[in-house]
């Protein structure tokens, strides 16, 4: 038809206003026709028409959303003309529609299936014209929704011909015709509380949950790459995936991560950086003890406050709620095993109960991630550790050599950029030297080296002044690092050299083949511990008479092993301890050893640890049982442990059935011949050649029986005499020692 002028009117019925059609009299137009309505010389709108007898001829009636969109007023004259669609270019392939409740008071939180909604929409509005920015009302499940057309893609021409899709990117169009195989995608309006489920709810590329400019080194984290990738796989992979696929899999997000490990290894740092890594809101960081309150019910209320925001958002936005991260530092302070608290209030128990119900109770939240940190995972209530709560348990252990290189690079990067790090500082060499150092200890090492370097530029006069001329050329050198390594910073889980060097201060006197054999066997056991995957635990017992040098040999084998963790469990550190505290001290040594990749524990003077005395006989059964368990307990997977025990009472250990706990036993003999004793004197270099010849003559062919430790005492005693009497005094002391005296008779 030719363009004609018609008068805009109000839609006659509510039912017709839901059809998205303009309503005319049947004398003017036919139902299903498409028309262009020109409201001003520059504004045209396309509508599909329906006929109704109540509309006066020459009038065209519009619903309220249509009048809003087209800017029409009642009684306005408009120019109406026919509109014909080009079916090859103007069929709708995909249409994105923004949806919200029509009236705010009729909102509800029940989820609406967008797939069913899309099917209903196509059925209701098939063969109708739609334009971008168009507003309309849609009735679904007895609820009215306000819609706005956001985007229209034309249908692939090959699909219209019944051929497979060409795969070309589709044209965007302003006006399109809805057909049976059009795709409708619903997107929730920004501030809407509507909950959509199903595949047809979004096609936009979702904003990634991971921050695009996130970088390990910038964040100051080193040596935790594997731990980060494991946490990502378990906790964030499901949050990065499109929600409809996650929904179809019936997959629930991980809600809790527990980070545990030795102090100073980066647990708190890691948790802090997880918040920065994610495009989530700022995490809430809570120190465990801050939760507790002296008033009844306040501690539980503090827990509820932490989750209140997430709860409110979940009710309002449902599946579209953002991620809320709550970080608990020192989790063991509030989540101890229930029923173990000595206090009558049981406040810890109720706090644990409250936390359990919030993370995974009846009204569970799906928009939270709780990160807990502790270096005492054994104290935490078991109910918190099951899947659905803190289900990802990640040990943040001591960094390996590659990790130490990363950490040292992070802490020296600023110095390097300002040319304050000397050329002779080799980070790889430092990493090799700092076995078993935690991240915090490596940072401390860098600080100590910086202090040493600064100290060189301070004038030590009556006043403290900085030598500004030299300070301009300040550089931290390798010597500064090495000095700090030897004097200032010692690893908590490392080798305490002073600990075992006191046992071998006089060196090892190789007075004969027996000593060489012991050291060779010790070297073999060290290699076995290092290289064998079948025996991660090797326990050896060095037994022999008193004063024969068992502890010195054990300390020497431990030192030569070059293991990153060496500890001596010695009775002298447990004087006055009760049986229970002695057991705990021994267990702590072993627990620390399990944290290192390679460890050596020397259990010295076992019968003293057991409080054994022959009168009675009496011993501590509690300590015996603890040692029996620890000597047989294999270290955790990937860790290796060498245990060296020493005893002078093999017979007693045999009776206590303790010998079976050791893989092998090595006997350390006393010096038994005159020739061996003379060799020992020569190695010690205490007497002159003439004096040694005299002693050798006296001892030729004789049998003796003396430990090397006792021999050292006798020699030192003799050397206090005048030179003429030293040999005589030594031989007298040797005879008095109770050796086989026949050689002097």
List the catalytic residue out of 44, 650, 709, 729. 709
C-alpha span between 224 and 267 (Å, rounded) = 10
Cβ atoms of 236 and 228 closer than 8 Å:
no
C-alpha span between 716 and 726 (Å, rounded) = 10
Q: How many CB atoms lie within 10 A of CB 561?
A: 22
C-alpha span between 114 and 319 (Å, rounded) = 13
How big, in percent rounded to 5, are the helix, strand and coil portions of the chain?
Answer: 40, 20, 35
b/e per residue, 198-220, with b = 16+ CB within 10 A?
A: bbbbbbeeeeeeeeeeeebeebb
Cβ atoms of 571 and 609 closer than 8 Å:
yes
C-alpha span between 431 and 442 (Å, rounded) = 9
DSSP state of 437: -
Give the Cα-Cα-Cα angle 183, 187, 192 (nearest 5 degrees).
155
List the catalytic residue out of 28, 156, 360, 605. 605
List the catalytic residue out of 188, 435, 550, 582. 550
Helices (H), 436-512: 439-455, 468-471, 478-487, 497-501
DSSP assignment of 375-392: S-GGGB-GGGGSTTSS-E
Cβ neighbours of residue 302 closer than 8 Å, sequence gap 6 or more: 290, 291, 293
Q: Catalytic: 709?
A: yes
Query: Is the bond preceding 617 in cis, omega lying within 30 degrees of 0?
Result: yes
Label residue 334 exposed, middle or buried (CB < 10 Å: 0-12, 13-18, 19+): buried
Tokens 């020569």 identify what position?
A: 682
Cβ atoms of 403 and 426 closer than 8 Å:
no
Q: Catalytic: 551?
A: yes
C-alpha span between 410 and 437 (Å, rounded) = 15
Q: Catalytic: 89?
A: no
DSSP assignment of 65-109: HHHHHHT--TT-EEEEEE----TTT-BEEEEEEEEEESSGGG---
List the catalytic residue out of 434, 551, 646, 647. 551
Which of 537, 514, 731, 501 lies closest to 643, judged by CA? 537
List the catalytic residue out of 358, 604, 646, 647. 604
Q: Catalytic: 632?
A: yes
C-alpha span between 336 and 299 (Å, rounded) = 14
Q: Catalytic: 88?
A: no
Q: Catalytic: 459?
A: no
Q: How many CB atoms lie within 10 A of CB 483?
A: 15
List the catalytic residue out of 632, 633, 664, 740. 632
SS3 of 616, please? coil
Query: Is the bond preceding 350 in cis, omega lying within 30 degrees of 0?
Result: no
First to last CA, the chain: 146
Write out the two tokens for 436.
Answer: 């078993």
C-alpha span between 735 and 706 (Å, rounded) = 10
C-alpha span between 29 and 11 (Å, rounded) = 16
Rounded (10°) CA dihedral 670, 672, 676, 678: 100
Catalytic positions are 550-551, 604-605, 632, 709
């Amino acid at each position: 038809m030719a363009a004609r002028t018609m008068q805009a009117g109000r839609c006659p019925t509510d039912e017709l206003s839901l059809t998205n059609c303009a309503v005319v009299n049947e004398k003017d137009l036919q139902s299903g026709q498409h028309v262009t309505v020109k409201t001003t010389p520059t504004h045209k709108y396309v509508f599909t028409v329906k006929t109704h007898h109540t509309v006066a001829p020459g009038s065209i009636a519009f619903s309220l959303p249509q009048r809003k969109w087209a800017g029409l007023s009642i009684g306005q004259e408009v120019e109406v003309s026919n509109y014909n669609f080009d079916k090859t270019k103007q069929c709708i392939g995909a249409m994105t529609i923004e949806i919200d409740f029509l009236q705010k008071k009729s909102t509800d939180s029940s989820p609406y299936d967008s797939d069913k909604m899309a099917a209903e929409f196509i059925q209701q509005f098939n063969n109708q014209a739609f334009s971008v920015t168009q507003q309309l009302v849609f009735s679904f499940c007895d609820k009215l929704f306000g819609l706005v057309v956001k985007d229209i893609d034309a249908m692939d021409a090959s699909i219209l011909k019944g051929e497979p899709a060409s795969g070309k990117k589709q044209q965007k169009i302003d006006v399109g015709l809805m057909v049976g195989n059009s795709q409708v995608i619903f997107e929730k309006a920004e501030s809407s509380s509507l909950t959509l489920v199903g595949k047809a709810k979004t096609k936009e590329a979702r904003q990634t949950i991971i921050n695009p400019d996130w970088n390990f080194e910038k964040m100051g984290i080193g040596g935790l790459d594997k731990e980060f990738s494991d946490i990502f796989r378990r906790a964030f992979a499901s949050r990065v995936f499109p929600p409809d696929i996650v929904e179809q899999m019936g997959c629930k997000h991980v809600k809790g991560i527990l980070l545990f490990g030795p102090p100073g290894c980066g647990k708190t740092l890691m948790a802090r950086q997880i918040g920065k890594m994610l495009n989530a809101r700022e995490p809430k960081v809570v120190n465990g003890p801050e939760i507790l309150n002296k008033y009844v019910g306040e501690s539980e209320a503090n827990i509820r406050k932490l989750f209140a925001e997430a709860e409110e958002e979940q009710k309002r936005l449902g599946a579209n709620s953002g991620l809320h991260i709550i970080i608990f530092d020192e989790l063991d302070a509030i989540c101890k095993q229930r029923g173990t608290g000595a206090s009558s209030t049981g406040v810890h128990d109720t706090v644990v109960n409250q936390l359990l119900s919030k993370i995974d109770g009846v009204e569970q939240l799906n928009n939270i991630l709780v990160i807990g940190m502790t270096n005492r995972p054994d104290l935490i209530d078991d109910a918190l550790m099951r899947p659905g709560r803190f289900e990802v348990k990640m040990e943040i252990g001591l960094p390996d050599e590659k990790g130490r290189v990363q950490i040292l690079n992070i802490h020296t990067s600023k110095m390097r950029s300002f040319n304050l790090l000397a050329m002779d500082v080799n980070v790889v060499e430092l990493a090799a030297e700092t076995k078993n150092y935690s991240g915090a200890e490596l940072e401390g090492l860098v600080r100590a080296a910086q202090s040493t370097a600064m100290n060189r530029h301070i004038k030590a006069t009556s006043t403290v002044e900085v030598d500004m001329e030299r300070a301009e050329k300040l550089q931290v050198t390798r010597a500064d690092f090495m000095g700090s390594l030897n004097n200032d910073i010692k690893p908590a889980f490392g080798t305490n050299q002073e600990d075992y060097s006191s046992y071998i201060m006089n060196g090892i006197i190789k007075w004969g083949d027996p000593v060489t054999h012991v050291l060779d066997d010790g070297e073999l056991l060290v290699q076995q511990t290092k290289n064998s995957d079948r025996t991660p635990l090797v326990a050896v017992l060095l037994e022999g008479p008193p004063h024969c040098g068992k502890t010195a040999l054990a300390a020497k084998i431990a030192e030569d092993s070059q293991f990153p963790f060496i500890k001596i469990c010695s009775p002298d550190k447990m004087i006055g301890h009760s049986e229970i505290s002695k057991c705990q001290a021994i267990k702590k040594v072993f627990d620390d050893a399990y944290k290192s990749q390679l460890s050596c524990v020397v259990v010295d003077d076992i019968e003293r640890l057991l409080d054994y005395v022959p009168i009675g006989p009496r011993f501590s059964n509690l300590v015996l049982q603890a040692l029996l368990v620890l000597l047989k307990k294999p270290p955790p997977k990937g860790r290796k442990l060498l245990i060296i025990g020493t005893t002078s009472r093999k017979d007693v250990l045999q009776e206590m059935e303790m010998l079976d706990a050791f893989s092998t036993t090595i006997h350390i003999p006393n010096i038994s011949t005159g020739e061996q004793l003379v060799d020992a004197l020569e190695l010690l270099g205490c007497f002159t050649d003439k004096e040694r010849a005299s002693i050798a003559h006296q001892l030729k062919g004789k049998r003796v029986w003396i430990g090397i430790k006792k021999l050292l005492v006798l020699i030192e005693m003799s050397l206090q005499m005048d030179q003429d009497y030293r040999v005589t005094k030594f031989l007298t002391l040797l005879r008095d020692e109770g050796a086989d005296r026949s050689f002097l008779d």
